[in-house]
Structures are given as C-alpha cells and as structure tokens.
Amino acid sequence: MLRTRTFAIAALAVAVQAVLMSAPSAALAAATPKVVSRVGLAASRPARLLRCSEAQLALGGLGLDNTGGTNVATLLVANVSKATCFVEGRPRLSFDDGAGKVVQTSIGHRGSGAAFAAPAPVTLAPGARAGFVFTDLAHNASDLLCRSVARLHVLLPRVAGSLSTPLTFDPAPFEICGLPGGAITVEVSSIVPGVAVMTYASELPACAARGFVVALGAARGAAGTAALTATLVSRNATCVLDGYPSVILSGPSGKTELRLVPGKVVMALPNPALPRPMTVVPGARAQFQLAAGDFRQTANGKAGECPVSTAVRVGFPGGGTLTIHRRLRLCGFGGVGAFTASAP
C-alpha cells in the first residue's frame, strides 16, 4: 500500500519518491500500528438524530504513514449537507486496479489506538469530518504479495450506495501488500471523529496553484445575477484540495472590482458547495462555482451597469494564484462555493 507510495510529496516537488523501509514480521499481528490516540470518541447518539445518507457525505483527504513494517492510511468523511447527522460502525472496503478488476482482500479489524476501539456514534454537523484508518504490510521484503490498486470503494454501515476515492500516484502505483498464499489482509478501524485519525498519519499536502490549469465556463443565472463554473485540471500534483478558493475580479488597471465571499448565497441561486477533502491525482478534474449580481444600485435607486473586470484571480489553499483573463460585468453580493469533484 504505502510501498510504492514512494513519493516524498513535498508541497514544492510533488515528486513521488520516498522509499518506505523496515521489514515486516511474518505474523500479520505484528503489522498493527503502534499508535496512541488521546482523542475521546462519541459515546452516545443524540435523540432523534438521523444517520447520514450517501448524498450528505464526501470521501477524501488521504493521509499516509509507515511505521515498523506497517503501512497506515487514513481517510476523511465529510458532511457536505446543511443538516446534522451521524455515522457509526466499521466501513467495508474494496480496491480495484483501475481496469475494473477487484483486488482480492481479507478485511480484519485489528489495530491499536482509539480508532480501533469498538464502534461508537460520531455526530457530524454541517462541514464536520469523521474518518477511519486502514493498514497492511509495508513492502520491503521479497516474501510479500503486493498488488497495485487505483481506486478505493467504501461502504459505510447502513448507508445506501458507496463512496470512492482515487489511489493513483505518478509515477509510482499505490500498492497493498500481505503474506503470500491467500488474499491480502487489510485491517480497518471503526469510524471515529476526524481529529482522531490524524494521529495515525499525516494528510497529503494542500494543493497549490502551480499544479493546475483553470478555465471558466459560460455565465448563467436568473435576472440580476450570473453564475459561472471554473474547471481545474491537475497537471502533476498528488495533493488534497479542501476548502474555498480565494476569488477576486479586477479591472484593466488591476484595481479590485469584486472580492467574492466564501460560502455566500447569491439571491435565488442555489446554495454554494460546502468544503470537503478531495484527494487529487495527476489528470484529475475539480471545479468551483462563483456567482454575483450583474447590476448595482445608483444614487437614484435604479439599476446601473457594473464596471468591467478583465481578470479573475483564483487563490489556492496550498498557495499561489491562477489568473483567468475574461471580460465580466459583475459587482454585487458575490459568493463562491468550495472546491468539488468534476466529472472526467
């Protein structure tokens, strides 16, 4: 799993090059992570709270570590809806090789630390995160069976449908490893609060502007408003994209004409997307939506024309700015949604 996760995904180099070390034990029991979590878990389910549905959840924010012959990975599950809900139990995982073939695994639940305790309800307010841990043997010995995997599929307990996230790195594949002679054993924790899983592995670096190209789609919207979708394509980064872009519209002289407010609703247009962690791999696409009024109130109370903007500057959570050269007339009550996944 983390073996040819051979990448020192330093935010600057994004070069996939770390070599994971330490020989695994012959016994799989020795492959459990020796992690101590100081995070307390939820003990009871609030009355009348509903279980989260698939539509309320998004999966991503991969974290990786290697300790004493064990590969450790963490994933976050975010509530991207406007309603509080709860998750509970142990997820069921399956891996595919990118060509539609399922990689055979045997799922266990052995491990140490708070995440491997008995399942307990985790309440998720809008925007909150839960998460889980999965482990396998670290590849650095010739007697292990390893398989390359490209995507992880997750079934949450009593949640219809599945969530998925890419596990592809460039140039190295993502591998899961186990003892030869059968299916590869992967140990999976309970679902716990997001802060608890972060004690097991560090999340990949935040995506920076230099790893993307961006294009702005056609304007649409109701009378008095305009909404546009920006599409991002990852060029060479494996990173986590999470949160809101910083978006500024500027005029020909460089003067700021409009600064969009993260998460702001614009009149009757749909609510902007809430943040969710996304693992972005080379060639992946993401998007965000921006909206604003296309008129301004004049001194006599009538609608007037907005000044012309000629550039849209997009700032990234991991640093840097991309500029889209586009002539727009937007000037009022502007808002921008969070980064979300985009269809290929």
pLDDT by residue (tens digit) across 91-111?
Answer: 999 999 888 899 999 999 999
| Strand ranges across the sheet with 163-166 | 102-103, 92-96, 151-155, 163-166
pLDDT in tens, 188-215: 999 999 999 989 998 889 999 999 999 9
Last residue of a domain, one of 203, 235, 260: 203
The answer to whether residues 224 and 279 belong to one domain is yes
The answer to whether residues 186 and 267 belong to one domain is no
Q: Which domain holds residue 307?
A: 209-341
Spatial distance between the Cα atoms of 65 and 70, rounded to a whole number of angstroms:
8
On whether residue 294 sits in a domain, the answer given is yes
pTM of the model: 0.80
- Whether 134 and 73 have beta carbons less than 8 Å apart is answered as yes
Does the pLDDT at position 324 exceed 60? yes
On whether residue 326 sits in a domain, the answer given is yes
The answer to whether residues 259 and 303 belong to one domain is yes
- Whether 31 and 136 have beta carbons less than 8 Å apart is answered as yes
pLDDT given at position 45: 59
What CATH number is given to the structural domain containing 252?
A: 2.60.40
The answer to whether residues 85 and 176 belong to one domain is yes
The percentage of residues in the chain with a pLDDT greater than 90, rounded to a whole number, is 60
The answer to whether residues 333 and 319 belong to one domain is yes
pLDDT given at position 23: 34
Backbone angles phi, psi at 51, to 5 degrees: -70, 140
On whether residue 12 sits in a domain, the answer given is no
Bridge partners (DSSP) of residue 228 are: 290
Does the pLDDT at position 299 exceed 90? no
- Whether 292 and 257 have beta carbons less than 8 Å apart is answered as no
The answer to whether residues 246 and 138 belong to one domain is no
pLDDT given at position 68: 74
Element (H, E) at 287: strand 285-293
pLDDT given at position 143: 81
Does the pLDDT at position 174 exceed 90? no
Which ranges in the chain belong to alpha helices (H)?
A: 194-197
Domain count, the chain: 2
The answer to whether residues 193 and 248 belong to one domain is no
pLDDT: which is higher, 297 or 276: 276
The answer to whether residues 54 and 158 belong to one domain is yes
The percentage of residues in the chain with a pLDDT greater than 70, rounded to a whole number, is 82
Label residue 332 by pLDDT band (50, 70, 90). confident
Last residue of a domain, one of 152, 169, 203: 203
Indicate the residue type of 112: S
Label residue 343 by pLDDT band (50, 70, 90). low
Bridge partners (DSSP) of residue 177 are: 146
The answer to whether residues 179 and 269 belong to one domain is no
Compute and round to an integer the Cα radius of gyration of the chain: 22
pLDDT given at position 32: 38
pLDDT given at position 61: 92
On whether residue 44 sits in a domain, the answer given is yes
pLDDT in tens, 215-273: 999 988 777 889 999 999 998 778 999 999 999 999 999 999 999 999 999 887 888 99
pLDDT given at position 12: 30
Spatial distance between the Cα atoms of 341 and 337, rounded to a whole number of angstroms:
12
Sign for the CA dihedral angle at 57, 63, 66, 67 comes to negative
- Whether 233 and 283 have beta carbons less than 8 Å apart is answered as yes
- Whether 260 and 334 have beta carbons less than 8 Å apart is answered as yes
pLDDT given at position 311: 97
Spatial distance between the Cα atoms of 329 and 229, rounded to a whole number of angstroms:
16
pLDDT given at position 328: 94
